Structure 1
Amino acid sequence: MTEYLDTDAHGSLQETSKTLVAVARGDREPDVIIRNGDLVNVHTGEVMPGTDLVISEGRIVRMTDTGAVEAGESTEVIDADGQFLSPGFLDTHVHYESSMVTATGFCRGALPTGTTGAFMDPHEIGNVLGLDGIRLLLDEAADLPLKTFCTIPSCVPAAPGFEDAGAVIGSADIEEALEWDDVIALGEMMNYPGVVSGDEEVHDKLAATYETNKRATGHFASRETGAELDAFIAAGISSCHESIRKEEALARLRRGMWTMLRQGSAWKDIPETIKAVTETDVDTRHLLLVSDDTHPDTITEKGHLDRVLRVAISNGLDPVTAIQAVTLNAAEYYGVDADLGALSPGKMADVVFLDDLATVDVSRVMVDGSMVVEDGEWVDEGALPSESEHTAAVHEVFPEWARDTVKLDPQPADAFEIPAPEGASEVSAEVVRVHENQVVTSRESATLPVEDGAVALDGDISKAAVLERHGGDESVGRGFVTGFGFERGAVASTVAHDSHNLLVVGTSDEAMARAAERTIELDGGMVAVDDDGVLAEVPLPIAGLMSDLPLSEVSERVHNLEDAWEALGCDLDSPFMTMSLLALAVLPELRITNRGVVDTVGFDFIEPVGAD
């Protein structure tokens, strides 16, 4: 289904087609001409040197040899001076909330790196505030130069029966939201066992999606590449971003699935998954490159999709092929290729100026025919609120009820105890092992000592607790985790995918209680403590997920938090993003939710300890 979009200033193609044709005929002067660029032609997979782009009404009218079209008296002429001209980059799977800022902050950071459009799955705020929260985020995004499309969350909560979120989005809610103008698809279907087993509610959501001629996006976290994968795709689900091995990515491509290769702050899959293309001769028309979850300091220091492209190219992908994966392929997948995804007549003039193709060195960014960024700096001052106005602007969008979501009292230290079986001197514990830069965990066993009737810690094993924080039953799940390297203290976070309860990891009950208490006082956020008090904190008052501060300030606080984690003994890359998935009960192999320890392979609860 083709979607026709409005440019902010000029309207849709059907409203401007006569003007565009008049300019193309030469009967009307263009608004803008970009001279002397090397055009990255994603239609043909070639670079066309010495090319001009003629622009009117925010759209490209002609692509010609340099100098072929004369400028009018009021035409703005921009000299590309041999720079590469690329279509604006499109992120086909991203969660704005993971950047710890709202849509305004995300736009401020991502657009200067060449990202001009994003297909956002707002299931993080959806799990806390439901459709009302999603609507707030979309309304904010509607007034920004970054084009935001919504894939409406399909799994809120992600694992019903295994966790408790702040909201439930059922099939009737999805039917309602699919009618919103800014909803373009169904968000990632994480309940892949429900798809494969024929769960009625899951298939009702899929049916509602297909009834509106929209796509259903996927999340097939199983490592299986046979019957279950076929069943998942046979249900109509057309994309997946969960490949972590070459074989998984290749299996999806061969089945016609739009295969999203992910490179986030912590989930660094592309060096392995890109081999599905670079070590074979398969066609790349269904290849997509995505960021998924990206922290603020990653965006401010390393970039957004430009960073993802650099990783793909440095691992052997042809630069033009890589750009196709975030432009034309992306637009075709979501049916917006009538307007986006290429620099050709009729398309919106979203243009990224690159000094170098292989390093994706972004110099300037144009949106709808207007230059908004030069040398990494915003030149359109009216496009976003200033940094001094940022917090007030965010509060106008997100009212107090969206900033008061931690419905939990501070807990005593003994709330974090894990009792041992009566009379036991040591126990056999089920332990979750985290892996650096991977979404998966593994299940291990360890023998732990018992002190005063409670399980004590030993070696590189910490205690983890998930406290229901949405005003429900105040349940607490407790277990053990290893791989972080903590030597002392504790960390806490209300970013705990996907239900976003209060997650605490620590080396002592007292430290865990102290970290939890401070996080509650902040109305949500991330905190690191030691015996002397708080080492660092990142307040996230918007749904307990996002800051009301400017991106630069949030990035600095995240840096301080990283330093605090390191001081506690953890040297993992993006460790608190790894921690945030400890509660996500739709990823293998072992997770901890507010209801307990979950075996996500067998989908059952297990006891964290037993008599040794």
Structure 2
Amino acid sequence: MRNLLRCCLLALAATLPAIAAAAGNDWLIVQTGPLLDRPGQAPRKSATVLVRGERIVEVRDGHLGANAFADVPADARVLDLRDRYVLPGLIDSHVHLTSDKAGAEAQLESVTQGTAYYAYEAAVNARKTLAAGFTTVRNLGDRGGVTLALRDAIAARKLPGPRILDAGSAISTTAGHMDPTLGFSEALHDAIAAEQTTCDGADDCRRAVRRQIARGADVIKMATTGGVNSRIGAGLGQQMFEDEARAIVETAHLYGRKVAVHAHGADGIALALRAGADSIEHGTLLDADTLALWRKHRAWYVPTLSTVNGYKERLAANPGAYRGDVREKIEWRIGITGKALRQAVAGGVRIAFGTDAGVSLHGRNADEFELLVEFGLTPAQAIRAATLDAAELLGVDKELGSIEPGKRADLVAVAGDPLADVRVLKNVAWVVKDGRVEKAP
């Protein structure tokens, strides 16, 4: 009975903010310890953040009550975070919410499970991600429209989860990295390829982009090179022609969509940059010419270093998780991790935070911070990559990325100073999204 009562009280506590807002008191006063309101600048020693509804109204130094603000009712809610370090809600620019398996296990699951199964999987992973302090994510490809629907359900507050910008299904050429038929019997190809995500030739690639936009995609994802997990022995170099890549980017931009590009080899990275891509994901092999091209075009780099954690942990649990040439590519990827990031930082390339969660584990997104710092960024730069810089990449920097008047009230609180030790971001105690407490100790 005591356990039952405790569960009921916890459930009631979780609904109190919504009840107060419904009653007309939509003011929230957040009293903080150190506040990193504008990543890249020095934090405030202590502060008060005034929130009304989903938006930040005012930020002031020191700890203030309702009587310090005009028009704020005396019974405004107060969130006491004076013993915590507070910073903006975090942003992961590269996740796959439907994915939680890898290698042969994931391949088998893809033909033994249906859309309903993946819908629940995505909902669980979204909740893990929000609890880890990531209030916004960019989901870069799945099948069945699962995350498009989840995006809308979360926006309507039917389910808890981060704000989602979704790519629908990723685009590649036939036999390219994201051709969904790779590794399956030819007898299954027509059924597996029903979403028409592969394209060959410029006109067909324009069709593929328009197909995703018609489905409601916020961003377009394409692959210009092979991939580590591709079940085809075609390497990691360029697998798309110039006219195809340019057609995809130009069509996406025509409709106001940005383009994220899976690319490992330097030739495929250069191809995507020349075509006008907005971000390069993974970017494992770089040379001086590619770095010069990158600086010229001002595209973002999303390193996704966390993939190696996923590979290592799955191999430790099951040494046979990956087979053949996929296993060889994974061993290579583990060995080369961080080299490209060091080159990019030295070369002046803009970095945005992204994990490839789904290959790595959902809810462990903050592991990426430690790797970013290990391979070239300062803690301050890594935090900015996951806030203001990621917001700029996603095109939401007027809404998110810092704690400023007019922006959405997304913030997280931790027990230590992440500028001194970025690993404290692995343990987020409080999460506020759109002015609502989503997680509390």
Report the TM-score when normalising by structure 1.
0.48
Secondary structure of 2:263's counterpart equals: coil
In the superposition, relative to structure 1, how do residues 203 and 94 fare at CA in structure 2: closer, same or farther (>3 Å)?
same
CA contact (8 A) 2:133 2:412 kept: yes
Is the 8 Å Cα contact of residues 195 and 203 (structure 1) preserved in structure 2?
Answer: no
Superposition deviation, residue 81 in structure 1:
1.9
1:160-182: CA deviation from partner (whole Å, max 9, x where unpaired): 6984443223643531432555x
1:150 to 166, 176, 189: 166
Once residues 387 and 399 of structure 2 are traced to their aligned partners in structure 1, the CA distance between those partners, rounded to angstroms, is: 11
Alpha-carbon contact 1:37-1:82 (below 8 Å) kept = yes
User: Paired residue for 1:198, among 235, 243, 256?
Assistant: 243
Q: Is the 8 A contact 1:104 1:140 kept in 2?
A: no
- In structure 2, what is the equivalent of residue 579 of structure 1? none
Choose 312-321 or 357-366, whichever is displaced more: 312-321
The amino acid that maps onto 1:349 is A
Residue 42 of structure 1 corresponds to which residue in structure 2?
A: 38
How far the C-alpha of 1:198 sits from its partner, in A, is: 2.0
User: Structure 1 or 2: larger strand share?
Assistant: 1
Specify whether residues 114 and 198 from structure 1 end up closer, same or farther in structure 2 by C-alpha distance, changes over 3 A only.
same
Q: CA, structure 1 residues 76+158, in 2 after alignment: closer, same or farther (shift >3 Å)?
A: farther
Where in structure 1 are there 5+ consecutive unaligned residues?
1-27, 376-612
- 1:43 shift after superposition: 5.0
Change (3 A) 1:45 1:89: same
Residue of structure 1 aligned with 2:295, choices 237, 254, 264: 254
How many angstroms does 1:73 deviate by?
2.2
SS at match of 1:149: strand
Matched, 1:342 2:402: yes
* 2:213 aligned with 1:178: yes
1:231: how far off? 3.7
**Take 1:48 and 1:120, find their aligned partners in 2: how far apart are those partners?**
33
Change (3 A) 1:193 1:310: closer
Quick one: structure 1 residues 52 and 147, their matched pair in 2 at CA, closer, same or farther if it must change by over 3 Å? same
2:49 counterpart residue number: 53
CA contact (8 A) 1:261 1:270 kept: no
RMSD: 3.2
Structure 2 CA distance for partners of 1:64 and 1:136, relative to 1, 3 Å: closer
User: Deviation at 1:138?
Assistant: 4.6
Q: Tell me the equivalent position of 1:210.
A: 253
1:292 and 2:333 are equivalent in the alignment: no
Q: CA deviation at 1:332?
A: 0.7
Give the counterpart letter for 1:289 in structure 2.
Answer: F
2:366 is the alignment partner of 1:312 = no
Distance 1:112 1:370 in 2: 13
Q: Is the 8 A contact 2:98 2:358 kept in 1?
A: no
Deviation digits for residues 319-365 of structure 1 (CA, Å, limit 9, x no counterpart): 22111101111111121111111111111111110112122231111
Inter-partner Cα distance in structure 2 for 1:186 and 1:244? 21
Q: Deviations over 1:351-408 (max 9, x none)?
A: 1101121222311111111111123xxxxxxxxxxxxxxxxxxxxxxxxxxxxxxxxx
CA gap of 1:73–1:50, structure 2 versus 1, over 3 A, is same
Q: Describe the shift of the 1:238–1:196 C-alpha distance in structure 2 as closer, same or farther (beyond 3 A).
A: farther
The answer to whether the aligner puts 1:234 opposite 2:300 as a matched pair is: no
Assess, with a 3 A threshold, how the Cα gap between structure 1 residues 178 and 325 changes in structure 2: closer, same or farther.
Answer: same
For 2:75 and 2:174, the matched residues in 1 are separated by 54
In the other structure, the counterpart of 2:339 is 272
Q: How far 1:119 sits from its partner (Å)?
A: 0.6
Q: What is the aligned partner in structure 1 of residue 175 from structure 2? A: 159
AA partner of residue 274 (structure 1): L
- Structure 1 residues 271 and 242, CA gap change in structure 2 (3 angstroms): closer
| 1:33 is the counterpart of 2:29 | yes
* Larger CA deviation: 141-150 vs 322-331: 141-150
Q: Please identify which structure carries the higher helix content.
A: 2
Report the equivalent of 1:327: 387
CA distance 1:348–1:139, shift in 2 (3 Å):
closer
Give the Cα separation in 1 of the matches to 2:224 and 2:38. 32
Deviation readout 1:218-262 (Å, 9 max, x if unpaired): 1222134xxx64443121112112223575895675342200111
8 Å Cα contact 2:32/2:85 also seen in 1: no
Q: Distance in 2 between matches of 1:295 and 1:141?
A: 23
2:251 corresponds to which letter in structure 1? A
User: Which protein is bigger by CA-based radius of gyration?
Assistant: 1
Determine the structure 1 residue equivalent to 2:325: none
**Which whole-Å CA distance do the structure 1 matches of 2:82 and 2:151 have between them?**
38
Identity of aligned residues (%): 19
Which residue type is aligned with residue 243 of structure 2?
Answer: G
Distance 1:214 1:261 in 2: 21
2:437 paired with 1:371: yes
Instruction: Tell me the equivalent position of 1:362.
Output: 428
- The answer on whether the counterparts of 1:89 and 1:116 sit within 8 Å (CA) in structure 2 is yes
- The equivalent residue for 2:124 is 105
**Amino acid aligned to 1:198:** D
Q: TM-score, normalised by structure 2?
A: 0.66
Task: Report if aligned partners of 1:32, 1:75 keep a CA contact under 8 Å in 2.
Answer: yes
Instruction: Give the letter aligned to residue 50 of structure 1.
Output: S
Residue 121 of structure 1 and its aligned partner are, at CA, apart by 1.6
